[in-house]
Amino acid sequence: FSPSSKPMKIRLEDAKDLMKSIIQEVRRVSFNLTPSSLEDFGLVPAINKFCEEINAVTKSNVKFINETRFINRLDSHIETNLYRIIQEGVNNALKYSKASNITVNFSHTINSLNILIEDDGKGFDYSRVENSGHFEKAGHGIFNMKERTDYIGGIFKLETALNQGTKIFITLSLDKND
C-alpha cells in the first residue's frame, strides 16, 4: 500500500478518528476517578494534601485555609465534584495566570459551604471569553467548573480583570431541605 493511495488514506483517517475517541474516553474516565485521599479521608484532608503536593513541585505558594468545623462527610459525588473544581481552579492559576500565590479557602455559614480560590496572577477579560461565542473552547476549564457547580446545586461566580488576579467563588447549600 502506498501512503498516498485512497484506501490507505481512508484507513489513516479511521485510525486518527479512533485514536481521538480513545483519548476522549481516557480523559473522561480519569476525570471521574476519585482520588484515594478524598475517598478515605474526605474533602478537607484531600484538598490539604493536594495543596501540599502542588507546593512540592512548583514555585508557586498554594495555601489552604480551612475555617470550617465539619464533622460529617458530604455525599461522595459532591466531594468529588468540589475536589475537581478546586483542582481545575488551582491548575488554571498555575498554568495560565502565572500566579505566585494561590489560596483555597473554606468557610461556612449555618447552611452553606463557601469556597474561594484566589490568585495574584495576571487575570483576564472574562466577559470577552464568556461573550465571544467560543466560551466552551477558550474557557473550557471555567466551563467545566461552572457545570460541575451547577450539577451539585451550587452557585459559581468568577471575578477577574487584567493584572488583578482571579477569584472563584463556589457556594453550596448545606440545607437538607433543598
CATH of the domain at 115: 3.30.565.10
Cβ of 43: how many Cβ atoms within 10 Å? 24
84 and 12 inside one domain: no
Percent helix, strand, coil in the chain, to 5, is 50, 20, 30
- How high is the pLDDT of residue 30? 58
What are the φ and ψ backbone dihedral angles of 53, each rounded to 5 degrees?
-65, -40
Whether residue 146 is contained in a domain is answered as: yes
What rounded mean pLDDT belongs to the chain? Answer: 85
Q: How many domains does the chain have?
A: 2
Q: Which residue has the cell 482520588?
A: 35
42 and 10 inside one domain: no
- Nearest residue to 146 (alpha-carbon basis) of 113, 171, 123: 171
- How high is the pLDDT of residue 46? 93
Percent of the chain with pLDDT over 90: 49
Q: Are 160 and 167 in contact (CB under 8 A)?
A: yes
Distances, alpha carbon 105 to alpha carbons 50, 117, 169, in Å: 13, 7, 10
15 and 40 inside one domain: no
Pairing relationship of beta strands 101-108 and 155-160 according to DSSP bridges? unpaired
Whether residue 178 is contained in a domain is answered as: no
Angle at 171 (CA atoms; ends 170, 173), nearest 5 degrees: 145
For residue 1, what pLDDT band results from cuts at 50, 70 and 90? Answer: low
Residue 78 has pLDDT above 90, yes or no: yes
- How high is the pLDDT of residue 177? 44
Residue 76 has pLDDT above 70, yes or no: yes
Mean pLDDT check: name the lowest of 31-45, 80-94, 128-142, 148-162. Answer: 128-142
Whether residue 22 is contained in a domain is answered as: yes
Question: What does the longest C-alpha to C-alpha distance in the chain come to?
Answer: 70
What are the φ and ψ backbone dihedral angles of 41, each rounded to 5 degrees?
-120, -15
Domain containing 4: what range? 1-33
Report residue 87 as a C-alpha cell.
Answer: 483542582
Q: Which residue has the cell 474516553?
A: 25
| Rounded mean pLDDT, 54-69 | 92
55 and 136 inside one domain: yes
Quote the pTM value.
0.77
* Dihedral angle of Cα 48, 54, 55, 60, to the nearest 10 degrees: -120
111 and 127 inside one domain: yes
15 and 79 inside one domain: no
